[in-house]
Amino acid sequence: MRPVIASFVAFALAAPAQDPRQREFRFEATSTLVVINVAAKDKSGKSIEGLKATDFVVTEDGKPQQIRVFEYQQLQEEPLPARGLKERPDPKAKQATPATVAKDNRIAPSAKEEIKYKNRRLLVLYFDFSGMPVADQYRTQQSALKYLNTQMSTSDHVAVMTYVTDLKVLQDFTSDRDRLVDVIRSIPIGETGMGNGSTGDESEADTGTAFSADDSEFNMFNTDRKLAALESAVKMLSSLPEKKALVYFASGMSRTGIDNQAQLRGTVNAAIRSNVAFYPVDARGLVASAPMGDATQGSPGGRGMYSGDSQRQARNNFQQQQDSLYTLAADTGGKAMLDQNDLSAGIVQAQKDVSSYYILGYYSTNAAADGKYRRVKVQIAKGLTASLDYRSGYFASKEFKQFTDSDRERQLQEALMLGDPVTDLSLALEVNWFRQGRDRYFVPIAVKIPGSDIELARRGGAESARLDFLGEVRDAKGTVQGSVRDEVTVKLKGERMGQLASRNLQYDTGFVLQPGAYTLKFLARENESGKMGTFETKFTVPDLTTEQRRLPISTVVLSNQREKLSETVATAERNKKLFEANPLVQAGEKLVPSVTRVFRKDQEMLVYLEAYQPAAQTTQVMVANVSFFRGKVKAFETTPLKVDSGLNPKSKAVPVSFRVPLASLQPGRYTCQVNVLNPEEKKFAVWRSPMVVLP
C-alpha cells in the first residue's frame, strides 16, 4: 500500500490589480491516494483473470471507498534462455528494453496514477557490504550472476543498490540482462565500510582493525545506519504503485544493545507504505561454527574459551543477527533465506511470490495526516469466489507544521505514541542507573543530537535554536512510571556557532525508579525545520540487594568533559531535586556522558561508577583499574587505584573515578574493561563496553 499526498487547488478568487484593498484567496484540498495490490486465486492456487473494479469492495476503517485506479498485472513465469556464467554480452545484440541508468543516484519515479511497469515483476538486488566479509561478498555477487544468467524470467525488471557507508543506486529497473550482468560484475569486492560493530563480549575476535570515522561519530550505531539506508531505499520506490520485492544480501544484522528500536519499526512501516516486501538473504550460508572459532576470525581469548562462555555468546549473537533479518521479512510479507548455501534461491523465492495481481487505488475519505494506522479490508463481490491476498492496513502520512502552542503540544504527544515512529532527526541515547536506597534508583538519561541536524535562526543578535523534548518510561505492565517534557533554547555566538555543524548537542534528564524492566520512548523536535526524531529502548534496573556472589556496582559512565551547570545548553531543570540526586553532578559541575563512546587521542577519558557496600559502616578498601583490549590483546592498563573513602551512609555507595589519558592508544576499536575488587569481602565486579579512539 502506498499513500501519496497530492494537493489540488479547488478555486481561487483573484482581485483586480487596480484595487489594492481586495486580497487573493486560495482554497486547497488534500487527498491521499492509497494503492493496494491484491492477488486473487482460485481453490487450486491459480490466479484469477478478468475481474473488474466492480468485483471488489474496499473499506477503510469500516467506511466504503470508491476505486479510482484499477489495473491487472499479468506476470509471465517463462525463464529467459540460459547462458554461461562467464558468457560476455554481445554488443551488437538488439535489446527489447534498453537499460535505464539511475540518475542522481535515485530510482526514476512514475507520474501520478501511472502504471510505469505494466506486466513487469520488480525486483531490487540490495547488497549490504558494510561489515560483510570478502568471501561473503564474492558469494553474493556470484549468486546474483547465477540468477541473471539462468533464472531470470521474461517479466523480471531488476534494480541494483549497494550500501557500504552510504546508499548507492547502481542501476534503475531494467530487463536488459547484459547491462545488469555488467553492473553486478562492476561492484567492487573488498569494501567493508564501518563493520558490524564491536560487542565487547566473550565472543569478540582479535581483529586489530583500525577505525576510521565516516561523516560523524553517529556511525558507531551501525545497525541504525543500515536500517536508515533501507528506509531511504524503500522511500525511493514509493512512487511506483506496482508490487516490489527487495532482496537484501547481508551477513546478518548485529544488535549492539544501544540501537534505536524505533528505527527498525520506522523502516518496516516505510516498506509497508511503499508496498515493498523484504527478502533477506544471509550471505554466510550454512554455518557450522567450531567451539574455539574457525579460520575466518581470530580466537576470542580469555577464560571464556575454557568455560564455554565464548561459544554460548557466539551462538546467541549469531541467532540475534538472523532474528533481525527474520523480523524484516515477516513484518513486510517477505521470506528470509537463512542457513542455505544457494543464495540465489532467495531471489527465486521473491520471484515466485510476486505473481499476477490486481492494482486497486482509492482516494481515502480520511484526509487527516496524523500518522495513525488505517485498517483496510478488501472483499470479493457477491456471487464470486476467490482467495484474496493483500496487506490489511497502512500508516497514514505524517504532517508536522508550526501550530499554536496548544496544537504543538498535542502534536508532540501524538507523535510520541504513534505506532509509526518519526526518524527525521538523528538521536543517540544512553541510560544509566545509580542506587539511592534499598528500592530506589536514580536513572539519568543522556540524549545526543548531531549539530548538523540543527537549524539555527537569528534572534536578538545571536544564532539560536529551539528544541522540544518529550520522554516517557513505562514498566513491564505498560504503566507510566515517569515522564519529562522540556523546551530548550540554545543560543550560540562566535566560535561556538561555527562549530555546531561538526559537534553535537546533548540533553540530560533523569528519573527515580524501582528495580524492574522498563521501556523508554523519547522524542525530540527541532522547531525551525519541524524535524523530529524518536528513540526507543528497553532497559533493566537490577535489584542489587539480592547480589551475593559479585561486588554490586552501578553502570559505568565514560566521558571526556565536565561542564559547569551555568554553561549547560540543554539540561532538564524541571525538578532541582534531580540535580541533588544525580551523582554525575558535583561541586556545580556535571560529568557529560559520551553517549557514542567515541574519543580522540588528545583527550582524557573520565570514568565514573559507584560500588556498593550494603553492610559497611565505614569505607572498605577497594582496588580498581581500567584496561583496553584490541580483541584478545591487552593494549593498555591503568595503575591500580586504591579507594578507601567516600561511603555514603544512606545509599552505601562509594564513588570510583579515573582520569585516563588516551595518548598511548592507537586509533581503532577497543573494549574498555573496568575491574573493581573488594579484598575484604573477596568480591569483584567487571564491566565491559566497546569504544573507539580517533586520531
pLDDT tens digits, 501-514? 556 788 888 899 99
Q: How high is the mean pLDDT of the chain?
A: 79
Q: Which helix (H) or strand (E) holds 667?
A: none
Residue spans of the domains in the chain: they are 4-74+360-395, 121-349, 401-545
Residues 6+ apart with CB under 8 A from 219: 165, 194, 213, 225
The single residue listed with the C-alpha cell 532541582 is 576
Q: Which helix (H) or strand (E) holds 292?
A: none
The predicted structure's pLDDT at residue 96: 39
Residues 6+ apart with CB under 8 A from 189: 134, 137, 138, 141
**Among the listed residues 244, 225, 214, 163, the one whose alpha carbon sits nearest the alpha carbon of residue 423:** 225
Report the C-alpha gap between 59 and 694 in whole angstroms: 56
pLDDT classification of 299: cutoffs 50, 70, 90 = low
pLDDT tens digits, 618-628? 999 999 999 99
Within 10 Å of residue 549's Cβ, how many Cβ atoms? 6
Q: Please compute the mean of the pLDDT values over residues 18-25 and round it to a whole number.
A: 49
The residue that leads in pLDDT, 379 or 288, is 379
Q: Are strands 276-282 and 244-250 parallel, antiparallel or unpaired?
A: parallel
Residues 6+ apart with CB under 8 A from 429: 258, 260, 445, 446, 447, 448, 520, 522, 535, 537, 595
The predicted structure's pLDDT at residue 326: 87
With a cut of 90, say whether residue 31 has pLDDT above it.
Answer: no
pLDDT tens digits, 535-584? 888 999 999 888 778 899 999 999 988 887 766 555 554 455 666 678 88
User: Do the Cβ atoms of 379 and 426 come closer than 8 Å?
Assistant: no
pLDDT tens digits, 129-159? 887 888 889 999 999 999 999 999 889 999 9
Q: Are strands 633-637 and 622-630 parallel, antiparallel or unpaired?
A: antiparallel
CATH topology for the 401-545 domain = Immunoglobulin-like (2.60.40)
Q: Please compute the mean of the pLDDT values over residues 657-681 and round it to a whole number.
A: 91
With a cut of 50, say whether residue 212 has pLDDT above it.
Answer: no
Q: Please compute the mean of the pLDDT values over residues 415-435 and round it to a whole number.
A: 82
The predicted structure's pLDDT at residue 197: 45
The residue that leads in pLDDT, 463 or 248, is 248
With a cut of 50, say whether residue 7 has pLDDT above it.
Answer: no
Q: Which helix (H) or strand (E) holds 313?
A: helix 309-332
Q: Are strands 622-630 and 604-612 parallel, antiparallel or unpaired?
A: unpaired
Q: Please compute the mean of the pLDDT values over residues 610-638 and round it to a whole number.
A: 90
In percent, the amount of the chain with pLDDT more than 70 equals 75
The residue that leads in pLDDT, 481 or 84, is 481
Report the C-alpha gap between 157 and 268 in whole angstroms: 23
The values of phi and psi at residue 515, to 5°, are -60, 140
pLDDT classification of 686: cutoffs 50, 70, 90 = very high
Report the C-alpha gap between 35 and 414 in whole angstroms: 25
With a cut of 50, say whether residue 92 has pLDDT above it.
Answer: no
Backbone torsion region of residue 389, taken as left when φ is above 0, otherwise alpha when ψ lies between -120 and 50, otherwise beta: beta
- Inter-axis angle of helices 344-353 and 134-146, nearest 10: 50
Instruction: Take residue 337 and report the three cell numbers written for it.
Output: 533465506
The predicted structure's pLDDT at residue 472: 92
Instruction: Assess whether the region 121-349 and the region 401-545 belong to the same CATH fold.
Output: no
In this structure, the chain runs to a length of 695
Superfamily of domain 121-349: von Willebrand factor, type A domain (3.40.50.410)
**Among the listed residues 560, 638, 674, the one whose alpha carbon sits nearest the alpha carbon of residue 606:** 560
Report the C-alpha gap between 599 and 122 in whole angstroms: 44
pLDDT tens digits, 314-340? 676 677 777 888 888 888 888 988 878
Q: Please compute the mean of the pLDDT values over residues 668-681 and round it to a whole number.
A: 91
**Among the listed residues 541, 585, 547, 559, the one whose alpha carbon sits nearest the alpha carbon of residue 678:** 547
Helices (H), 12-152: 134-146
Farthest-apart Cα atoms in the chain, separation:
94
The residue that leads in pLDDT, 552 or 92, is 552
Tell me the three state secondary structure of residue 314: helix
Report the C-alpha gap between 518 and 335 in whole angstroms: 31
Report the C-alpha gap between 629 and 688 in whole angstroms: 10
Q: Output the CA–CA distances (angstroms, integers) from residue 417 to 262, 287, 338, 373, 410, in the order listed.
A: 11, 40, 34, 12, 11
pLDDT classification of 189: cutoffs 50, 70, 90 = confident
The residue that leads in pLDDT, 225 or 560, is 560
Q: From the CA atom positions of the chain, what is the Rg in Å?
A: 28
The predicted structure's pLDDT at residue 531: 81
Q: Please compute the mean of the pLDDT values over residues 382-401 and round it to a whole number.
A: 79
Residues 6+ apart with CB under 8 A from 46: none
The predicted structure's pLDDT at residue 99: 42
pLDDT classification of 486: cutoffs 50, 70, 90 = confident
pTM: 0.66
The single residue listed with the C-alpha cell 578507601 is 644
With a cut of 50, say whether residue 211 has pLDDT above it.
Answer: no
The DSSP bridge partners found for residue 541 are 516
With a cut of 80, say whether residue 310 has pLDDT above it.
Answer: no
Q: Which of 86-100, 422-436, 444-458, 460-474 has the lowest mean pLDDT?
A: 86-100
Tell me the three state secondary structure of residue 345: helix
pLDDT classification of 292: cutoffs 50, 70, 90 = low
Q: Please compute the mean of the pLDDT values over residues 353-368 and round it to a whole number.
A: 87
Report the C-alpha gap between 84 and 266 in whole angstroms: 41
The predicted structure's pLDDT at residue 205: 46
pLDDT classification of 193: cutoffs 50, 70, 90 = low
The values of phi and psi at residue 524, to 5°, are -125, 140
**Among the listed residues 188, 205, 187, the one whose alpha carbon sits nearest the alpha carbon of residue 196:** 205
